[in-house]
């Protein structure tokens, strides 16, 4: 197949990474040189175009394919809709090869040493597993992939490149206890609840490194060290977005579509707006903090029309809130706008901390509690559902 010089493009990508942030350790550049990313990317990938993910085929557009694969900051979608795209394209990205800068940020956080026993959650294309093999030794790598087709493709690419880690087809949330205990667990999929099974399968002193997100759609990389008494705890690090674990997917279309009805609008409580939630878009750290206090709450911004102030919707499976300008309406057992105000107040009174000051403790049974600054600085329990006395006024409907 003719096309761009992929090795030259790969070398340029390494230079780009060095120029931007630099490889954190000398061995990282050597790993990047030994494991060519392009060797693990299928000929058909998927790119967003207007309203859907469309295929980009290497055989049709070798230059476009190569440019995408060699971008140091770009993840590449390799599967959509769990391998069952519609005739007009795909709606949901379900597997990918991570951006090189994100990959090496995670590898640095994992503090890998030769001989470490490593479990990877989410094999994907197999590229990250190959990097792990180079660093810790092929026999020390177990990679768990939930999708059989993705696992087969990854195993084939790994074998072709000369790597034979243990690739297990299973739900990554359960881990793979037969290969443990592990010195390191790296998840290439994001979670909002760290499974207790991961804590159980990593030895005391070992690390769990995973992207972690709230339903307010904010992410931080959790780096958790397992303690002698069977907990895992540590701070959040570099913000990074990864696809969710399949069992923890956050529907980009929030629960609003299931809980909102016209009758509910007529029965909703109307009242004044204390503060519009625009800060959710304006301050990433504030949104992250609010997500810790409001697990399960979704926030969506809706542009009504040109020049008009956007509307915000908050929702859970049982309640919703709507606010635009000076108009607010709420329905269900929770007053979500009031809870959001309380979360913002808590963040402000704490000194407007950035996400790096927050951390997480997870026990062997999967109980998790976020904290600020130290594990003893536990945040308040998530706000309890409550109802503000009904304040009903006109019947104006949102546009």
**Domain spans, the chain:** 6-247, 256-349
Task: Quote the percentage of the chain above a pLDDT of 70.
Answer: 92
For domain 6-247, the CATH superfamily is Vaccinia Virus protein VP39 (3.40.50.150)
The DSSP letter of residue 5 is: -
Q: Residue 72, class by beta-carbon neighbours within 10 Å (0-12 exposed, 13-18 middle, 19+ buried)?
A: buried
φ, ψ dihedrals at 152, nearest 5°: -60, -45
pLDDT confidence of residue 243: 87
pLDDT confidence of residue 385: 45
Active site residue 98: yes
pLDDT in tens, 130-184: 999 999 999 999 999 999 999 999 999 999 999 999 999 999 999 999 999 999 9
pLDDT confidence of residue 1: 46
Query: How far is the C-alpha of 208 from the C-alpha of 271, rounded, in Å?
Result: 45
Beta strand 358-363 with 219-226: parallel, antiparallel or unpaired? unpaired
pLDDT in tens, 47-64: 999 889 999 999 999 999
Confidence of residue 68 (pLDDT cuts 50, 70, 90): very high
The alpha carbon dihedral of 126, 129, 131, 137 has a sign of negative
Other Cβ atoms less than 10 A from the Cβ of 150: the count is 23
| Helix 127-136 / helix 26-34 crossing angle, nearest 10 deg | 130
Given 98, 190, 219, 268, the catalytic residue: 98
The alpha carbon dihedral of 336, 341, 344, 346 has a sign of negative
pTM of the model: 0.89
Q: Which residues pair with 313 in a beta bridge?
A: 300, 322
């Amino acid at each position: 197949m003719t096309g761009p010089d992929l090795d030259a493009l790969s070398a340029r990508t390494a230079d780009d990474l060095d120029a931007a942030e630099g490889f954190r350790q000398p061995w990282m550049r050597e790993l990047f040189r030994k494991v060519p990313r392009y060797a693990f990317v299928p000929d058909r990938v998927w790119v967003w175009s207007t309203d859907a993910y469309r295929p980009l085929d290497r055989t049709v557009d070798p230059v476009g394919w190569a440019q995408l694969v060699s971008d140091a900051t770009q993840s590449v979608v390799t599967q959509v809709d769990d391998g069952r795209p519609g005739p007009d394209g795909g709606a949901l990205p379900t597997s990918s090869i991570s951006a090189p800068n994100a990959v090496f940020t995670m590898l640095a956080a994992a503090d890998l040493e030769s001989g470490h026993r490593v479990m990877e959650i989410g094999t994907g294309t197999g590229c990250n597993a190959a990097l792990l093999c180079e660093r810790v030794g092929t026999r020390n790598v177990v990679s768990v992939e939930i999708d059989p087709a993705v696992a087969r493709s990854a195993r084939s690419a790994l074998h072709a490149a000369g790597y034979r880690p243990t690739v297990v087809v299973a739900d990554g949330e359960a881990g793979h206890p037969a290969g443990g205990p592990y010195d390191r667990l790296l998840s290439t999929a994001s979670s909002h609840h760290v499974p207790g099974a991961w804590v159980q399968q990593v030895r005391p002193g070992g690390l769990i490194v995973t992207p972690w997100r709230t339903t307010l759609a904010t992410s931080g990389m959790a780096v958790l060290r397992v303690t002698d008494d069977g907990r895992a705890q540590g701070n959040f690090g570099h913000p990074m977005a990864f696809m969710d674990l399949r069992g923890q997917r956050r529907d980009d279309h929030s629960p609003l579509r299931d809980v909102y009805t016209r009758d509910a609008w007529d029965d909703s409580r109307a009242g004044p707006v204390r503060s519009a939630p625009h800060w959710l878009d304006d301050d990433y750290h504030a949104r992250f903090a609010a997500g810790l206090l409001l697990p399960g709450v979704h926030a969506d911004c809706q542009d009504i029309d040109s020049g008009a102030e956007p509307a915000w919707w908050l929702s859970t499976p049982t309640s919703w809130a709507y606010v635009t300008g000076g108009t607010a309406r709420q329905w269900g057992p929770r007053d979500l706008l009031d809870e959001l105000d309380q979360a913002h107040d808590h963040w402000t009174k704490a000194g407007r901390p950035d996400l790096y000051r927050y951390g997480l403790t997870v026990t062997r049974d999967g109980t998790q509690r976020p904290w600020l600054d130290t594990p003893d600085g536990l945040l308040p329990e998530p706000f309890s559902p409550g109802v503000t006395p009904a304040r009903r006024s006109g019947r104006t409907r949102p546009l």
